[in-house]
Amino acid sequence: MPGRTVRKRNRSNIVGVVAIAACASLALTACGSTKDTGGSAAAGGGGGDGKVGVILPLLTSPFWQSYNDYVPKMAKSEGVDALKTVNSNSDPSQQITDINNQLNQGVKGLVVAPLDSAAIEAGLDQADRKGVPVVAVDVAPDKGKVAMVVRADNVAYGTKACDYLGAHVTSGKVVQIMGDLASVNGRDRSEAFRSCVKKKYPKLKVLEIPAKWESDTAASKLDTLLNANPDIKGIYMQAGGVYLAPTLQTLKSKHLLRTAGQKGHIVIVSNDGIPQEFDAIRKGQIDATVSQPADAYAKYGMYYIKAAMAGKTFKPGPTDHDSTIVKLPSGILEDQLPAPLVTKKNVDDPKLWGNTVK
């Protein structure tokens, strides 16, 4: 969607009345409540100046296509000199190569969306050795140094999907089409959904499809599962950007795609918040999705890398943009951005980023 215009943030360390006045005068800044502790410029950071490399995990998903479109807009609004994005094309090894290539080009900061929470450590170590700060977007690394993780609460994704299905399917079989379990996102969503069903909705039986964020894998395994279990009553798709189209096509081919309200309708909950999911909700093909904030990922990825390049640090606690910074078990800080559940009741909300992109 068109990026929200944001005035350039005040980065000074002035305290007292001047700081308060400056914070009050700037829209959508991270003053005060974001616990910005200030600090000297990082090595090579140039007080927040310098080229920033932006590395994408893939571009085959409408979600990442939208994020890619937001990056230059948000970089401009945040005053960040971002290079053209680089696509790692779903290959964790290529992503490490991409990081090294960006470092060899002399970037002073990196914004990376990791494909593999463990494998990304090698790239983070390379950046750390060169004194280049890194902000991770969407996926938290298991290890390695990052200035901030910009991400939504993925445990909440699985829990929200579980509660929605549990409220609309009283008993029977439900399927969760999982993401890549090498990613903390896939693990968080899968375990949260599984645990929630076990604890709160014991009459539901969960069947699982490990699909690795791959549309072909999801379609093939769902087809096989439906052959053996034609009485499926609900589906949780962990990534609508890659699973929506193949799931609907598979259901249609088996004459199981019935709109909400019709007898035999399979209740479907998704994650992403892309326009295609919203259209599917309006048509009654799926029932809900969790809107993952592609616009805010780009915005705060740029905000935090600029702060890191200037040597600024943050502490756990509430922010002034309706999120909370938490410390992960690894010791890394994560800004958990809001990700609302979208249903037929609020699908037309103009504030949802999925309603503002073509």
What are 51's strand-pairing partners?
81
Q: CB atoms < 10 A from the CB of 142, how many?
A: 18
Contact 134, 124 (CB under 8 A): yes
**Mean pLDDT, residues 72-80:** 98
Q: How far apart are CA 153 and CA 336, in angstroms?
A: 6
pLDDT for the residue numbered 29: 35
**Mean pLDDT, residues 198-213:** 97
Three-state SS at 61: coil
In a domain, 5, yes or no: no
Locate 164 and state its tokens.
């929605």
Same domain, 64 and 82: yes
pLDDT band at 248 (very low <50, low <70, confident <90, very high): very high
pLDDT for the residue numbered 38: 38
The whole-chain average pLDDT of the chain stands at: 89
| Cα 41 off chain centre by | 29
**Mean pLDDT, residues 58-71:** 96
Residue 246 pLDDT > 50, yes or no? yes
Beta strands 317-318 and 234-237 are unpaired
pLDDT for the residue numbered 25: 35
The number of domains in the chain is 2
Q: How far apart are CA 31 and CA 89, in angstroms?
A: 36
**Mean pLDDT, residues 102-118:** 97
In a domain, 345, yes or no: no
Same domain, 191 and 280: yes
**Mean pLDDT, residues 147-172:** 97
pLDDT for the residue numbered 200: 98
pLDDT band at 48 (very low <50, low <70, confident <90, very high): low
**Mean pLDDT, residues 36-42:** 36
In a domain, 36, yes or no: yes
Q: Could you please report the per-residue DSSP string of 259-306?
A: -TTSTTPPEEEEEE--HHHHHHHHHTS--EEEE--HHHHHHHHHHHHH
Q: How far apart are CA 98 and CA 112, in angstroms?
A: 10
pLDDT band at 81 (very low <50, low <70, confident <90, very high): very high
Residue 28 pLDDT > 80, yes or no? no
In a domain, 181, yes or no: yes
Three-state SS sequence of 67-85: HHHHHHHHHHHHCCEECCC
Q: How far apart are CA 32 and CA 332, in angstroms?
A: 21
Stated length of the chain = 358
**Mean pLDDT, residues 214-235:** 97
pLDDT for the residue numbered 265: 98
Task: Please report, in angstroms and rounded to a whole number, the separation of the first and last CA atoms in the chain.
Answer: 7
**Percent of the residues in the chain that have a pLDDT greater than 70, as a whole number:** 86
Same domain, 180 and 52: no
In a domain, 1, yes or no: no
pTM of the model: 0.83
CATH value at residue 326: 3.40.50.2300
- Please give the residue range of the domain that contains residue 128: 17-151+293-338
pLDDT for the residue numbered 357: 85
Q: How far apart are CA 126 and CA 318, in angstroms?
A: 31
Same domain, 215 and 130: no
For 275-322, write each residue's pLDDT tens digit: 999 999 999 999 999 999 999 999 999 999 999 999 999 999 999 999
| Minimum mean pLDDT range among 35-49, 132-146, 268-282 | 35-49
pLDDT for the residue numbered 210: 97
Same domain, 214 and 117: no
Residue 39 pLDDT > 80, yes or no? no
Contact 54, 306 (CB under 8 A): no
Residue 31 pLDDT > 60, yes or no? no
Same domain, 68 and 169: no
Residue with tokens 């991270």: 30
Closest C-alpha to 58, from 213, 279, 185:
213
Based on its alpha-carbon atoms, the radius of gyration of the chain, rounded to whole angstroms, reads 21
For 126-144, write each residue's pLDDT tens digit: 999 999 999 999 999 999 9
pLDDT for the residue numbered 49: 80
Q: Where are the alpha helices (DSSP H) in the chain?
A: 17-25, 62-78, 92-104, 121-129, 154-168, 184-200, 215-228, 240-253, 275-283, 294-309
**Mean pLDDT, residues 214-225:** 97
Output the CA torsion 117→322→13→332 (10° steps): -20
Beta strands 81-82 and 288-291 are unpaired
pLDDT for the residue numbered 278: 98
pLDDT for the residue numbered 7: 34
Q: How far apart are CA 303 and CA 92, in angstroms?
A: 25
Same domain, 267 and 214: yes
Q: CB atoms < 10 A from the CB of 199, how many?
A: 9
**Percent of the residues in the chain that have a pLDDT greater than 90, as a whole number:** 85
